[in-house]
């Protein structure tokens, strides 16, 4: 017997329509590419997204067509999120930090019909335009006054002109909730990038779950500043969760340095933010140097790479900002786990609580997870056994766009490529990417654990640990360190710093000092590059 409830598809357009109706005067504030601050409301965003939808139709964009964007976090990008998906076309966010060749490859693979870009990226557009096989037009996300006087790209369109020509009052079409809504390519550190193709349904379920109190706890009383880019898994879904709950949105545009962010946190009374550890490193350094505080920021979600415990401590103890350590991936829309304590932990000592807060946390409802050994057998949740982490759920991919890479699922589970432990309470700790784990004498050593300890040393700015070939043990850990400007520390002092913090056989065999750790387009350490650079390092014990 079927239930007797209304059969309303979960569509992305309904989220903005809801915000426009129930949070009409809630603000969206953006630092623009031109440098000024732009303010308007959800009602304005909804009206303009409707005009954009009409403009897309006039430019020949139809159902299922892909439309690319190369843009910062800002109000026009937000309108594109809704204007494009709202008509059943597919919003394809492209990471501008990729190499232009990779950008052209991705846009061709996606068969983008139009490409919208922020003026910052005009040089990229000029470089890639001759190689774009399917793109019929390029739209500069600006007004007439700021249009480039000349460009190598013929017939550039102007975003504000397109909207000006259209009228208000667009009626969003209704269609199947399983229609593709947006496309995001994985970073492709191994082989070509692969496209995760989200649906309206998966996006809305993810937005609901993200907003829950034990997830990101978003509400109409929040002012939320996503530092995480809208080209990195839809700003971790915040572009949808914020209008869903009616939170004020603050977009930082291209200025992601410590001062610009701190200014915006203060002037816009931001309560919650989100970003990768590398961004927060810059912010914390700026705040410390200038002896500043956060007057309204109460919590921030940190993920994308493991958040060093020293950073969690600095936020919590020095600035009273609670860190929600979270884990996810492009293939998971992205949220998988978030660290929030349970009632039974509230009576623990601060140190015991901290021991839990540094983990990547508990699965959000909608994500099922398990760890398995190399033989595929499920491993116990004892907080000690490490295994390959598999997930399943309604916002986890079941394959990639155009079937790239074949069927990734194993008995219906998606192998994340991460290695993790899970505690009896379900708190998950990522110990490594499976390709980064150090296999020493048949046992695994967590490079993340070793890095977290090194960055807690006062002289260390950044640290990475890779496995280096060893004749007896297969691999042994090598610690690669960037010192803080002006700081001195020796190999012996660093190795001594591990005393009592790890099992003796985990101790790195050697330390090398370098000027910078290479970072990928989403702010993760590029261990492939480090292995090329230091993989043949001769260990003293080898």
Q: Which residues pair with 275 in a beta bridge?
A: 302
| Residue 495 vs residues 43, 466, 467: alpha-carbon distances, Å | 57, 15, 16
Burial class (CB in 10 A: 0-12, 13-18, 19+), 21: exposed
Two tokens, residue 119: 């003026």
Q: Read off the DSSP letter of residue 478.
A: E
- The DSSP string of 350-388 is HHHHHHHHTS-BEEPTT-EEEEE-TTSPBPP-SSS--EE
Q: Least separation, in Å, of the C-beta of 187 and ligand AMP?
A: 5
Please compute Rg for the chain using Cα positions. Answer: 24
Cβ proximity to ligand AMP: between 87 and 450 the closer is 450
Which residue number, 122 or 438, has a Cβ lying nearer to ligand AMP?
438
Catalytic residue among 79, 177, 331, 357: 331
Query: Minimum distance between the CB of residue 386 and ligand AMP, rounded to whole angstroms?
Result: 13
Tokens 């020796």 belong to residue: 490
- Is residue 190 part of the annotated active site? The answer reads no
Beta strands in 168-318 (DSSP E): 180-185, 195-199, 223-226, 248-251, 272-275, 299-302
Task: Measure the CA–CA gap between 358 and 324, rounded to whole angstroms.
Answer: 9
Write out the residues near ligand AMP by the rule CB under 6 A: 186-187, 233, 303-307, 325-330, 334, 360, 416-418, 430, 433, 522
Reply yes or no on whether 186 is catalytic: yes
Catalytic entry in 269, 384, 439, 501: 439
Helix or strand run (H / E) with residue 428:
strand 428-433
Least Å distance, CB 121 to ligand AMP, is: 20
Q: Which H or E run contains 283? A: helix 277-289
- The residue annotated as part of the active site, out of 27, 126, 444, 528, is 444
Cα angle 114, 117, 118 (rounded to 5 degrees) comes to 165
Catalytic residue among 32, 186, 337, 522: 186
Identify which of residues 71 and 430 has a Cβ nearer to ligand AMP in the complex.
430
Closest approach of ligand AMP to the CB of residue 15, in Å: 22
**Closest separation between CB of residue 307 and ligand AMP, Å?**
6
- Shortest distance, position 97 Cβ to ligand AMP, whole Å: 12
Instruction: Give the residue from 531, 525, 512 showing the smallest Cα distance to 278.
Output: 525
Which sequence positions are flagged as catalytic?
186, 331, 439, 444
């Amino acid at each position: 017997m079927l239930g007797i409830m209304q059969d309303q598809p979960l569509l992305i357009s309904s989220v903005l329509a809801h915000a426009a109706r129930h949070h009409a005067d809630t603000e969206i504030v953006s630092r623009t590419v031109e440098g000024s601050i732009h303010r308007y409301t959800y009602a304005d965003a909804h009206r303009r997204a409707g005009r954009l939808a009409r403009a897309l139709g006039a430019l020949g964009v139809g159902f299922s067509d892909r439309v690319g964007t190369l843009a910062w976090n800002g109000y026009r990008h937000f309108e594109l999120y809704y204007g494009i998906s709202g008509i059943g076309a597919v919003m394809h966010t492209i990471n501008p930090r990729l190499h232009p060749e990779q950008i052209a490859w991705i846009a061709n693979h996606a068969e983008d019909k139009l490409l919208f870009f922020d003026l910052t990226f005009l040089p990229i557009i000029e470089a890639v335009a001759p190689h774009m096989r399917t793109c019929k037009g390029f739209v500069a996300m600006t007004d007439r006054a700021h249009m480039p006087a000349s460009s190598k790209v013929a017939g550039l369109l102007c975003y504000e002109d397109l909207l000006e020509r259209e009228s208000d009052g667009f009626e969003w079409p209704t269609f199947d909730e399983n229609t593709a809504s947006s496309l995001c390519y994985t970073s492709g550190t191994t082989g070509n990038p692969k496209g995760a193709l989200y649906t309206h349904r998966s996006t809305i379920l993810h937005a609901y779950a993200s907003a829950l109190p034990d997830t990101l706890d978003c509400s109409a009383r929040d002012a939320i500043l996503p530092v995480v880019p809208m080209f990195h898994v839809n700003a971790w879904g915040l572009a949808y969760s914020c209008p869903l709950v009616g939170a004020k949105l603050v977009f930082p545009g291209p200025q992601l340095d410590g001062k610009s962010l701190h200014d915006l946190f203060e002037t816009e009374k931001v309560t919650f933010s989100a970003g990768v550890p590398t961004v927060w490193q810059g912010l914390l350094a700026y705040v410390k140097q200038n002896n500043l505080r956060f007057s309204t920021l109460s919590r921030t979600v940190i993920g994308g790479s493991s958040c060093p415990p020293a950073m969690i401590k600095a936020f919590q103890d020095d600035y009273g900002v609670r860190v929600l350590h979270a884990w996810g991936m492009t293939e998971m829309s992205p949220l998988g786990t978030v660290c929030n304590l349970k009632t039974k932990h509230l009576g623990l000592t601060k140190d015991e609580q901290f021991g839990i807060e540094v983990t990547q946390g508990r699965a959000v409802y909608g994500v099922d997870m398990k760890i398995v050994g190399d033989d595929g057998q499920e491993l116990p949740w004892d907080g000690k056994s490490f295994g390959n982490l598999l997930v399943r759920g309604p916002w986890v991919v079941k394959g990639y766009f155009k079937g790239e890479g074949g069927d990734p699922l194993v008995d219906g589970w998606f192998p994340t490529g991460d290695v993790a432990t899970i505690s009896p309470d379900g708190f998950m700790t990522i110990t490594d990417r499976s390709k980064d784990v150090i296999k020493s004498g048949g046992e695994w050593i967590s490079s993340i654990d070793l890095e977290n300890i090194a960055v807690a040393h006062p002289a260390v700015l950044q640290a990475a640990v890779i496995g280096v070939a060893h004749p007896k043990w297969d691999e042994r850990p090598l610690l690669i360190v960037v010192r803080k400007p002006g700081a001195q520390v020796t190999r012996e002092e660093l190795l001594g710093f591990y005393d009592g913090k790890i099992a003796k056989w985990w101790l790195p065999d050697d330390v090398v000092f370098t000027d910078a750790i290479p970072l990928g387009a989403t702010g993760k350490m590029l261990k492939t590059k480090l292995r090329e650079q230091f993989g043949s390092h001769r260990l003293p014990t080898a």
